């Protein structure tokens, strides 16, 4: 079926990957253009959709009942069975194969893996342009290689090692730095009676890792090399008993690697947000998220003081049992409160140190650190919390591949991260009055008893912001002898001061200094804060 120009094919690819869901025009634009978005982008999207309608349903009107491609609420929806998309069908077959593995039936698992891998015909999204297709191409490639690894492990367990050599050799050529693939290839070669070839794979691996990353092979790869040299009986020969790679730690991670447990404590008195917590927990659920395929990402954005960090930590603690390999936490300092924001390289240095990498082994460049970080987390179920992110470019190198999960917070909205990286973005607003009152009561206890009117006024002065409510509670606790009504009057006066001409003048001065870049060492504030300053100054 002729589908028109490349970007028109890209629109179809995006809509098909979200079959049955409404995709907003803004997301389509982010998926098609990387960087400079033309002013005609919106009109371009409408033109491409119209062209797809003509190709998919020639002679049918745009509003005809039962149309495949429909306009819905500022976006478009491709109404079709998701399993008509090979990528979706592959993910589901992959999940069935994994269930067969868990059930202890390697022969059935092998059959199901082969059914899934048979869907592949060359590179995913071949000839489709745009950032969304580029990200999906990488994600699906990683998913296929994960399936190949698991298939090969079951082939070894079923005693069919010689049949796995060709597929593993091709996979190693496609992803030469993936140590688990090389571990499997070495073992299959050895069991096929090709000891010299197995040792040659190790020599090539060591040379490559030294040249590209300046590191030695991982502990498990080194151990396998020594066992092959010694002809260790536990390796098996000619269909002997298998050492299932899936039960071992990833080859790129040393066995004595500490299990990081870095989550900060939960905020006292957390209330509300039940619907949002349930929604994200479901989206990040083990089976629904397709772990091992792509890393689930959730980004919570919103204004200062709205409780983003407390929310993400609450969610993280709910998910702990799904990530037995530990938790990593980094404050990216995107607000500038504690000095300059961390660069991606600085954050990777912290993460690698937390994973037990000595500074002398850390690559100097971002690309090298990213590769090492992703190699160390490959095959591990790790929860990564990235607090106060400044931008998508800061986040992307910190997103691992495969079985881990990333939770991030930011004052800015990263629409590109949703379209290009598949992130779930949640914009957080102030607490509802009822939840805000519950939080204040839980923090203040009996201090509010019998003074409901003053308490309601205090809640409204705080605007439903959890941080403001906590500051108010601290003031109440620090001044037990002062009547609540008097403290509330003081808060009201402070709020009125923020609207005074003097405050507006100060806001204007700060805005001019920031935008002129004079007299400051801290970075410019996020656009949302600058907009707030402009509003205050213009008043």
Kindly compute the dihedral angle of the four CA atoms of residues 90, 96, 98, 103, in this order, to the nearest 10 degrees.
Answer: -170
Task: Give the residue from 173, 166, 230, 165 showing the smallest Cα distance to 192.
Answer: 165
Residue 106 resides in a domain: no
- Domain shared by 447 and 404, yes or no: no
Q: Which domain holds residue 19?
A: 6-84
How do the pLDDT tens digits run along the chain, 539 residues long?
A: 888 899 999 999 999 988 888 888 888 988 888 767 888 989 999 999 999 998 988 876 655 566 888 888 788 999 888 888 898 899 889 888 888 887 777 788 899 999 999 999 888 888 898 888 888 888 888 888 889 999 998 888 888 888 889 889 999 988 888 888 999 999 999 988 898 999 999 999 999 988 888 888 888 888 888 888 887 777 765 433 334 343 333 333 333 345 788 888 877 778 788 888 888 887 776 434 343 346 788 888 888 888 888 898 988 888 887 888 888 999 888 765 555 788 888 899 989 888 877 777 788 888 888 888 887 787 678 889 999 888 788 888 888 877 788 899 988 877 667 766 778 888 888 888 888 887 877 777 666 666 667 777 777 777 778 888 787 777 777 766 666 777 777 667 666 655 555 544 554 555 455 444 443 444 444 444 444 444 444 44
User: What CATH number is associated with residue 299?
Assistant: 3.40.50.300
Residue 131 belongs to some domain of the structure: no
Q: Does residue 359 come out as left (phi exceeding 0), alpha (psi in the -120 to 50 range) or beta?
A: alpha
- In this structure, are 281 and 316 located in the same domain? yes
Please calculate the CA angle 104-169-253 and round it to the nearest 5 degrees.
65
Q: Does any domain span residue 71?
A: yes
For residue 211, is it within any domain? yes
Listing DSSP states for 110-178 in one string gives HHHHHHHHTT--SSTTTT--SHHHHHHHHHHHHHHHHHHHHHHHHHHHTT-HHHHHHHHHHHHHHSTT-
Assigned domain for 399 exists? yes
C-alpha distances in Å from residue 539, one per residue of 505, 524, 528, 535: 10, 22, 17, 6
Tell whether 29 and 41 lie within a shared domain.
Answer: yes
**Last-in-domain residue among 200, 219, 254:** 254
Task: Tell me if 117 is assigned to some domain.
Answer: no
In sequence order, what E strands does 279-318 have? Answer: 297-301
Q: Are residues 320 and 356 in the same domain?
A: yes
156 Cβ neighbours under 8 A, 6+ residues apart: 164, 184, 187, 188, 191, 242, 243, 244, 245
Backbone angles phi, psi at 70, to 5 degrees: -120, 155
Q: What is the 3-state secondary structure (H, E, C) of 259-270?
A: CCECCCCCCCCC
- Clarify whether residues 357 and 464 are in a common domain: no
Here the CATH number for the domain that contains residue 21 is 1.10.10.10
Same domain, 469 and 357: no
Whether 288 and 201 map to the same domain: the answer is no
292 and 422 in a single domain? The answer is: yes
Q: Judge whether 113 lies within some domain.
A: no
With a threshold of 0.75, does the pTM exceed it? Answer: no
Instruction: Write down which residue in 42, 69, 84 finishes a domain.
Output: 84
Q: Which two tokens stand for residue 462?
A: 């705080």
Domain count along the chain: 5
Determine the Cα–Cα distance for residues 361 and 352; give it in Å rounded to an integer. 10
């Amino acid at each position: 079926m002729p589908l028109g120009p490349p970007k028109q094919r890209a629109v179809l690819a995006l809509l098909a990957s979200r079959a049955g869901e409404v995709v907003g025009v803004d997301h389509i634009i982010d998926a098609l253009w990387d960087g400079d978005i033309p002013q005609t982008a919106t009109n371009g999207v409408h033109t491409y959709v119209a062209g797809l309608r003509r190709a998919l349903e020639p002679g049918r009107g745009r509003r005809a009942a039962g149309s495949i491609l429909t306009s819905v609420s500022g976006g478009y929806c491709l109404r079709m069975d998701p399993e008509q998309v090979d990528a979706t069908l592959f993910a589901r077959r992959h999940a069935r194969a994994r269930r067969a593995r868990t059930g202890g039936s390697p022969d059935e698992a092998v059959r199901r893996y082969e059914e899934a891998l048979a869907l592949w015909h060359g590179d995913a999204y071949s000839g489709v342009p745009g950032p969304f297709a580029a990200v999906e191409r990488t994600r699906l490639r990683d998913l296929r290689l994960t399936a190949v690894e698991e298939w090969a492990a079951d082939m070894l367990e079923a005693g069919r090692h010689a049949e796995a050599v060709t597929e593993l050799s091709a996979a190693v050529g496609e992803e030469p730095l993936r140590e688990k693939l090389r571990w499997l290839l070495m073992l299959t070669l050895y069991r096929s009676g090709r000891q010299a070839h197995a040792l040659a794979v190790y020599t090539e691996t060591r040379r490559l890792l030294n040249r590209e990353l300046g590191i030695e092979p991982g502990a498990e790869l080194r151990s396998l090399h020594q066992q092959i040299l010694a002809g260790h009986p536990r390796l098996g020969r000619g269909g002997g008993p298998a050492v299932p790679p899936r039960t071992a730690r990833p080859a790129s991670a040393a066995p004595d690697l500490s299990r990081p447990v870095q989550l900060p404590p939960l905020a006292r008195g957390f209330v509300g947000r039940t619907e949002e917590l349930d929604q994200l927990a479901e989206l990040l659920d083990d089976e629904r998220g397709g772990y091992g395929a792509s890393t689930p990402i959730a980004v919570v954005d919103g204004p200062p003081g709205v409780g983003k960090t407390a929310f993400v930590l609450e969610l993280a603690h709910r998910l702990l049992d799904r990530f037995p390999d530990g938790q990593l936490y980094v404050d990216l300092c995107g607000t500038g409160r504690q000095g300059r924001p961390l660069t991606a390289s600085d954050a990777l240095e912290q993460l690698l140190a937390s994973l037990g990498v000595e500074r002398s082994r850390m690559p100097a460049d971002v690309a090298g650190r990213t590769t090492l970080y992703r190699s160390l987390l490959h095959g591990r179920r790790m929860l990564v919390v990235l607090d106060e992110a400044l931008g998508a470019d800061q986040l992307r190198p910190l997103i691992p591949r495969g079985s881990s999960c990333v939770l991030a917070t930011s004052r800015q909205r990263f629409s590109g991260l949703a379209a290009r990286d598949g992130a779930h973005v949640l914009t957080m607003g102030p607490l509802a009055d009822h939840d805000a009152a519950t939080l204040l009561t839980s923090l203040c206890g009996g201090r509010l008893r019998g003074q409901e009117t003053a308490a309601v006024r205090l809640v409204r002065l705080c605007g439903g912001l959890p941080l403001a409510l906590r500051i108010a509670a601290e003031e109440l606790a620090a001044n037990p002898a002062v009547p609540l009504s008097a403290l509330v009057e003081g808060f009201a006066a402070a709020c009125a001061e923020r609207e005074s001409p003097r405050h507006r003048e100060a806001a204007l001065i700060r805005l001019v200094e920031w935008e002129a870049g004079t007299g400051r060492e801290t970075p410019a504030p996020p656009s949302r804060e600058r907009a707030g300053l402009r509003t205050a100054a213009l008043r």
